Amino acid sequence: MTTQKSRIESEVDFSQHGKQVGHLRLPHSVHRSAYGWLPMPIASISNGDGPRVLLTSGTHGDEYEGQVMLTKLIRELGAEDINGQLIIAPMANYPAALAGLRTSPIDEGNLNREYPGNANGTMTQMIAHYIEEVLMPRCDCMFDFHSGGSSLLYVPSVQVQLESDGKLNPKVKTLAEAFACPVTQVYPFDDQGPMSESAARRKGLFYFTTELAGAGMVSPVAYQTAEHGIFRMLHKLGVLKTLPDNVSPEPPPTQYVNIDGGELFCYATEDGLFEPLVELGDWVQAGQPAAAMHTPESPLKDPTIIHFDAAGLVVCKRVPGRTLRGDCLYHIGTPWPAN
Ligand SMILES: [Zn+2]
């Protein structure tokens, strides 16, 4: 398959040294602007030889911790602080990030389900294609910062994909442990999927992603964890010359869990008002009551009790009260490696 040329133009020349901040021009031909484009922010901070690192956030527009963190990096870091190159896209799905929505209001596209994208496709497909075919080939590493968004809240977590032999890549392990969230979630190898992790595999990049917190806000504790984590990780990688004074070089410990398996998800089995019966960070047992689903419109009806299918650590829970059958209430992790 020949790779088609992207229709997205960059104001930033990624081959130039120094610090550049500009936009990717996303073609957007509409009634009010026939030849118009949308300005997706992008930065390149480059200084000589060293690791070349792609940092993205706002893949889902309602996940804010990463967007704040990467915006701050663009503002505060200069070329003199770097060995190598940082390419930073803080609003990776720009229309979604601008609207504060998980998916794009232009085409309903979920950027993290669109890789490898399409050079001549919808707006979201064009962005995915640009990231996989233009930005990733320029880089050695990619880190895509997610959180729970509007509907979920996480224990701040790093997520790492295992190798095809079920082991952790030693370099990715070192970087994930330098980032040092309280939880490190592992999941199986996949180089075929529509998510950024599979795209990074296809391009041979070292990669991890995060689930930093969520609930449609920025939690100060989770944000500080992430901000210290990114400085420590970039310093460990060798791309950041000096660690800021307020960031300890010693990472706090992390708990590894496996998050792969349908039994580790807990879903609403009917519509109603979600009363959580456990908290984030609790260890739960198989069969333990997880949630009561209430129907205040029928006050005499008993709530339906939903149970966990497996034992594990609650790493993620639903935020909104009003819930429909099929909505995810919790995701739990099991100790990894298994005994
Ligand atoms: Zn996300």
Ligand 1 centroid, distance to 148 Cα (angstroms)? 6
Residue-level pLDDT at 2: 57
Q: How far is CA 3 from CA 118, 139, 191, in A?
A: 9, 18, 18
Ligand 1 centroid, distance to 152 Cα (angstroms)? 10
| Helix H or strand E segment including 145 | strand 141-146
Ligand 1 centroid, distance to 66 Cα (angstroms)? 10
Ligand 1 centroid, distance to 103 Cα (angstroms)? 10
DSSP 243: -
Token reading at 77: 């870091």
Ligand 1 centroid, distance to 339 Cα (angstroms)? 30
For the segment 91-126, what is each residue's pLDDT rounded down to a tens digit?
999 999 999 999 999 999 999 999 999 999 999 999
Residue-level pLDDT at 292: 98
- Location of structure tokens 């893949």: 59
Nearest alpha-carbon partner for 158 in 240, 229, 221, 263: 229
User: Exposed/middle/buried for 262, CB within 10 Å: 0-12, 13-18, 19+?
Assistant: exposed
Angle between helices 65-76 and 220-237 (to 10 degrees): 50
Ligand 1 centroid, distance to 60 Cα (angstroms)? 5
Q: What is the distance between the alpha carbons of residues 143 and 75, in angstroms, rounded to a whole number?
A: 19
Ligand 1 centroid, distance to 9 Cα (angstroms)? 25
Is-contact 67 96, C-beta < 8 A? Answer: no
Ligand 1 centroid, distance to 57 Cα (angstroms)? 9
Ligand 1 centroid, distance to 142 Cα (angstroms)? 15
Ligand 1 centroid, distance to 64 Cα (angstroms)? 10
Ligand 1 centroid, distance to 37 Cα (angstroms)? 25
Ligand 1 centroid, distance to 325 Cα (angstroms)? 22
Q: What is the distance between the alpha carbons of residues 156 and 143, in angstroms, rounded to a whole number?
A: 15
Ligand 1 centroid, distance to 219 Cα (angstroms)? 16
Ligand 1 centroid, distance to 39 Cα (angstroms)? 21
- The SS3 assignment for 209 reads strand
Question: What does 290-325 look like in DSSP terms, one character per residue?
Answer: EEEEE-TTSTTSPPEEEE-SS-EEEEEEE--SEE-T
Amino acid type, 195: M
Ligand 1 centroid, distance to 279 Cα (angstroms)? 21
| Helix H or strand E segment including 127 | helix 123-130
Ligand 1 centroid, distance to 276 Cα (angstroms)? 22
Ligand 1 centroid, distance to 234 Cα (angstroms)? 21
Ligand 1 centroid, distance to 176 Cα (angstroms)? 18
Ligand 1 centroid, distance to 48 Cα (angstroms)? 32
Ligand 1 centroid, distance to 74 Cα (angstroms)? 21
For the segment 234-281, what is each residue's pLDDT rounded down to a tens digit?
999 999 999 999 999 999 999 999 999 999 999 999 999 999 999 999
- The SS3 assignment for 43 reads strand
User: Exposed/middle/buried for 76, CB within 10 Å: 0-12, 13-18, 19+?
Assistant: exposed
Ligand 1 centroid, distance to 26 Cα (angstroms)? 21
**pLDDT-flagged residues of the chain (< 70):** 1-2
Straight-line distance from the first to the last Cα atom of the chain, in angstroms, rounded to the nearest whole number: 44
- The SS3 assignment for 102 reads coil
The strand pair at 265-267 and 328-335 is best described as antiparallel
